[in-house]
C-alpha cells in the first residue's frame, strides 16, 4: 500500500517542494522516517500515531516507511506531521490518487489530533504560488495564508477536518480574508527633539544616502530619541520589499496574525545579546537581529558595552548585505540589508569634554573605553557625529519651531530619486553602495576639494575605506543640495562627520 502527499520545506529562506511518500507492508510493526529528518521530524512518529488513534481512525499495525523526498535535503521542524498522517490514512484506506495530486499540506499535530500553527509559511507559499495548487494549512496560519494573492487556502483545525475535506465529506470553505497589514505604531517625530540641528542634519544625510551612523554624546542628550525617529525620514517600503521583510518574520515565527510588515523594521537589541542572537544561528539556523532589521534600522545603544566579538561579526554583513550561517550538515543564507545607527557615551562616566560637568575618567580610561570599538568597524560607519547636551534655553523656548519628519522625508525622497535615476542601469540603489570604479565615476570632486581631502587624509591618518566613505557622504550632500558636482563645501562637511578621526 502506497500513497504520496505533497508538502514544502525551508532551508533559510529557500523553499523546496517535498513529497511525503508512505509505504505500508506486512511484517513486524515498525514506523520509520527517512530522508534526512531532524529530531523534530523523527519525533513525528509518536505525534502522528497518537493523533490518528485519538481522532477515531485506525492506525495500521504493520511496517510503515515514510520517505521525505528529495532525500538529500535536510528536513526540519514539525510541519510534516499533518501530511504524514494523511499519507498513512490514504495508503491504508486506498484513497484515489486524484484526491491528493493538487494539494500541498502543512501542519503540526497535537496528540489529540488538533493542528497547530507553523513558522515560515509565507516564503513557501510564495515559492509555490505559480503551481496552481490548493493549500491545506493550520487555522492559526490562515491570515498569513492570504498574504499571497490568487491562491486557494483551506485552514483546518483538526486532522479529522483535513480528512473529511480531502474525501469531500465535509468540504472546508476557502478562506478569503482581507490581506492584513501590521498595526502602525507611532515612533514619534523629529519635531519633538529639541535642538540638535547638527545631529538631525547628519541623520538626514544618512537617510538620503543609506549611510551608517554613530552618535556620540553624554546621557540624556537625545541619542535614543533621534534614533527611534530615524525610520520616519526613510522612504516607504515597496511591495517587493514588504514581501522580503515579511518572509523573514514568517521564518522567525513573528508574522502570525500580524500581517504584512508595512513599516521599516526598527530593532534595538540589548548590549547583552549573544553572537547567535545578533547574526542568527542555532542548531537549525534562524534569522538574527541583523536579518530582522532587513530594509530597516538596527540601533545599537551603548555600543562599547557590546561584546567585542559580537560586534566584529557585523563587518561582513555591513559590506555584503547578507549573512551565511554554516553548520556541519547545512547552511542558511539570510538577507541583512539594514542601516546601522550606533550610540555611545564619550567616556564611561559620560562627561568627557563637558562644559558643565566634571569628567571622572582618566585619559587612559577614555582611550580604553573607545578602543572597545575596533578601527575596521568604525571605518564601516560612514558618519560619526557628536550629540552635545541640549541647553536650557532650547528646552524652554516655545518660539523655536523644530522641523518635522515629513519635511525632512520630502528632501530625502528627492535625493533618493536622483540616485535612482543616476544608477538606473546598475545594481545600486543609493550612494552608500558605491564601490571601486563606481566611486571614481560618480564621485568626481573639484581640484580644491581634492587638495582639502588630501590634507585630511594625511593629517588624520585616514584609511582607504574612510577615504571612500567621505567621498560617498559628500556625494549624498551634493544630491541633497541638488548639485551634480561635488565641491569643496560638500567634502568639508563630509570630513566633519568623521568625529572620532578628528580626535
* Domain spans, the chain: 2-166, 190-426, 434-503
Question: Cα-flanking dihedrals φ and ψ of residue 227, to 5°?
Answer: -65, -40
Nearest partner of 162 among 82, 259, 227, 257, judged by Cα = 82
Q: How far apart are CA 187 and CA 398, in angstroms?
A: 22
Q: In this predicted model, which residue has the larger pLDDT, 146 or 59?
A: 59
Does the structure show a pLDDT above 70 at 78?
A: yes
For the segment 319-335, what is each residue's pLDDT rounded down to a tens digit? 889 988 877 667 788 99
CATH class of 2-166: alpha beta
Listed in order, strand segments (DSSP E) in 330-475 are: 331-335, 339-344, 383-386
The pLDDT score that the predictor gives to residue 23 is: 96
Does the structure show a pLDDT above 60 at 503?
A: no
Does the structure show a pLDDT above 60 at 390?
A: yes
Radius of gyration of the chain (CA): 28
Q: Which residues pair with 334 in a beta bridge?
A: 323
The pLDDT score that the predictor gives to residue 502 is: 53
Does the structure show a pLDDT above 70 at 358?
A: yes
For the segment 229-285, what is each residue's pLDDT rounded down to a tens digit? 999 999 999 988 998 999 999 998 888 666 788 889 999 999 999 988 998 877 777
Nearest partner of 115 among 91, 86, 87, judged by Cα = 86
The pLDDT score that the predictor gives to residue 176 is: 83
Predicted confidence band of residue 67 (pLDDT cuts 50, 70, 90): very high
The pLDDT score that the predictor gives to residue 388 is: 87
* Mean pLDDT (the chain, rounded): 89
Residue 434, CA atoms < 13 Å, CB-side half-sphere = 29
CATH code for the domain defined by 190-426: 3.40.50.300
Does the structure show a pLDDT above 60 at 87?
A: yes
CATH code for the domain defined by 434-503: 1.10.8
Amino acid at each position: 500500500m502506497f500513497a504520496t502527499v505533497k508538502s514544502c520545506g525551508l532551508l533559510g529562506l529557500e523553499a523546496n517542494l517535498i513529497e511525503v511518500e508512505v509505504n505500508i507492508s506486512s511484517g513486524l510493526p515498525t514506523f520509520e522516517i527517512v530522508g534526512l529528518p531532524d529530531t523534530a521530524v523523527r519525533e513525528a512518529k509518536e505525534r502522528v500515531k497518537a493523533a490518528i488513534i485519538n481522532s477515531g481512525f485506525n492506525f495500521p499495525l504493520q511496517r510503515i516507511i515514510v520517505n521525505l523526498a528529495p532525500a538529500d535535503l535536510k528536513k526540519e521542524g514539525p510541519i510534516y506531521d499533518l501530511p504524514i498522517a494523511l499519507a498513512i490514512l490514504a495508503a491504508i484506506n486506498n484513497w484515489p490518487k486524484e484526491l491528493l495530486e493538487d494539494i500541498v499540506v502543512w501542519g503540526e499535530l497535537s496528540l489529540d489530533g488538533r493542528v497547530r500553527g507553523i513558522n515560515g509559511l509565507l516564503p513557501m507559499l510564495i515559492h509555490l504560488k505559480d503551481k496552481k495548487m490548493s493549500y491545506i494549512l493550520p487555522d492559526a496560519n490562515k491570515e498569513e495564508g492570504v498574504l499571497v494573492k490568487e491562491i486557494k487556502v483551506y485552514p483546518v483545525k483538526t486532522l479529522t477536518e483535513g480528512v473529511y475535506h480531502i474525501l469531500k465529506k465535509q468540504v472546508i470553505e476557502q478562506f478569503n480574508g482581507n490581506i492584513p497589514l501590521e498595526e502602525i505604531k507611532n515612533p514619534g517625530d523629529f519635531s519633538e527633539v529639541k535642538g540638535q540641528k547638527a545631529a538631525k542634519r547628519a541623520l538626514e544625510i544618512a537617510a538620503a544616502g543609506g549611510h551608517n551612523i554613530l552618535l556620540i554624546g553624554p546621557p540624556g542628550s537625545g541619542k535614543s530619541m533621534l534614533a527611534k525617529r530615524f525610520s520616519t525620514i526613510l522612504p516607504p517600503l515597496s511591495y517587493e520589499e514588504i514581501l522580503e521583510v515579511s518572509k523573514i518574520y514568517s521564518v522567525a515565527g513573528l508574522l502570525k496574525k500580524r500581517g504584512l510588515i508595512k513599516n521599516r523594521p526598527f530593532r534595538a537589541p540589548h548590549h547583552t545579546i549573544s553572537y547567535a542572537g545578533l547574526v542568527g544561528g542555532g542548531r537549525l539556523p534562524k534569522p538574527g537581529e541583523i536579518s530582522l532589521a532587513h530594509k530597516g534600522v538596527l540601533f545599537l545603544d551603548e555600543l562599547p558595552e557590546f561584546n567585542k566579538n559580537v560586534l566584529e561579526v557585523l563587518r561582513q554583513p555591513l559590506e555584503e548585505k547578507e549573512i551565511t550561517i554554516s553548520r556541519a550538515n547545512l547552511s542558511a543564507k539570510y538577507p541583512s540589508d539594514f542601516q546601522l545607527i550606533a550610540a555611545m557615551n564619550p567616556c564611561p562616566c559620560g562627561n568627557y569634554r563637558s562644559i558643565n560637568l566634571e569628567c571622572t575618567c582618566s585619559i587612559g580610561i577614555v582611550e580604553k573605553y573607545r578602543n572597545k570599538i575596533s578601527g575596521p568597524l568604525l571605518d564601516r560607519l560612514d558618519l560619526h557625529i557628536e550629540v552635545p547636551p541640549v541647553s536650557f534655553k532650547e528646552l524652554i523656548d516655545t518660539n523655536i519651531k523644530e522641523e518635522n519628519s515629513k519635511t525632512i522625508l520630502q528632501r530625502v525622497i528627492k535625493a533618493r530619486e536622483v540616485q535612482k535615476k543616476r544608477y538606473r542601469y546598475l545594481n545600486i540603489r543609493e550612494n552608500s553602495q558605491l564601490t571601486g570604479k563606481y566611486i571614481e565615476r560618480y564621485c568626481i570632486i573639484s581640484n580644491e576639494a581634492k587638495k582639502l581631502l588630501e590634507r585630511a587624509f594625511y593629517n588624520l591618518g585616514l584609511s582607504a575605506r574612510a577615504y571612500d566613505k567621505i567621498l560617498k557622504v559628500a556625494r549624498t550632500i551634493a544630491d541633497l543640495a541638488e548639485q551634480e558636482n561635488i565641491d569643496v563645501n560638500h567634502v568639508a562637511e563630509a570630513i566633519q562627520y568623521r568625529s572620532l578621526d578628528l580626535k
